[in-house]
Amino acid sequence: MELISSTKSFGGWLKRYKHESLSVKGDMTFAIYLPPQAETQKVPVLYWLSGLTCTDENFTQKAGAFRKAAELGLAIVCPDTSPRGTDYPGEHESYDFGSAAGFYLNATVAPYSNTYHMYDYVVQELPHLVEANFPVTDKRSISGHSMGGHGALICALKNPGHYLSVSAFAPIVNPTDCPWGEKAFTGYLGEDKSTWQEWDASLLIANAKERLPLLVDQGEADNFLAEQLKPEALEAACEQAGHPLTLRRQPGYDHSYFFIASFIDEHLEHHAKALS
């Protein structure tokens, strides 16, 4: 790993690293916040997955999470949102597909199938790297925003026992039935919609092997609420399957990091309780 930067914050350290990834066959960047407790003991980890157009820096610079993370003794790991350094046809032409829009799945359609394996990177490679090189335990939680909320939900639902808690802000909960998901899934997975189902949280709920409680915050003034996010789909799936869900509809809040910063402390407390 190559250290890019190191910044002290609330007694801990925010560090950014670049490393060669086997999953995406190229360099990846991630950030890790190590609370002050990490200087004397191993600490649990929350993995944060960011949304469309983002990098690891959006959360670290805008969420205001480090004061509470330092208090709770919680490390936070923030990966990038897609592979970088490739130049596939159309990869950089739109904000909702390709660069910065990896959707945390494993692509099966060429050329994206060569490198767009963000699911393998987040679930397998990155935790292995973090746990081997930093003073952290193997206790993990996962959270995210928008596309990253989708990623957090599917990673938890598809890997029982791998995470101790999961939460999301304004997640894309039913990507097989919204414009963002339909565009991305067609490009990454192909036209056969039966192959899409394993990457849709609302469809995974019915056969989930672990009933890990879901915490979801959704702003009611979110511009993407009706067309793209559709929290009612997740709500209906959880009700039918008896899956525990706390869906908090927050009046007046939009899709921005002002929304995330307003409730991030409560999410960190939710994860710290499960990780302790």
Of the residues 99, 146, 165, 167, only one is catalytic, namely 146
Which among 72, 23, 79 has a CA at the least distance from the CA of 47? 79
Neighbouring CB atoms inside 10 A of 135's CB total 14
262 has catalytic annotation: no
Q: Quickly tell me which residue has 């009933």 as its tokens.
A: 211
Question: What distance in Å separates the CA atoms of residue 195 and residue 175, rounded to the nearest whole number?
Answer: 12
Q: Give me 165's structure tokens.
A: 């808690």
Question: What distance in Å separates the CA atoms of residue 177 and residue 51, rounded to the nearest whole number?
Answer: 18
How remote is the C-alpha of 217 from its chain's centroid? 14
80 has catalytic annotation: no
How many helices (DSSP H) and strands (DSSP E) are in the chain?
A: 9, 9
Of the residues 117, 150, 255, 267, only one is catalytic, namely 255
255 has catalytic annotation: yes
Question: What distance in Å separates the CA atoms of residue 34 and residue 230, rounded to the nearest whole number?
Answer: 35
Strands 75-79 and 43-49, bridge-based pairing: parallel
DSSP conformation class of 147: H
Give phi and psi for 53, each to the nearest 5.
Answer: 75, -5
Strands 245-250 and 214-219, bridge-based pairing: parallel
Of the residues 222, 243, 267, 270, only one is catalytic, namely 222
Give phi and psi for 254, each to the nearest 5.
Answer: -105, -155
Catalytic site positions: 146, 222, 255
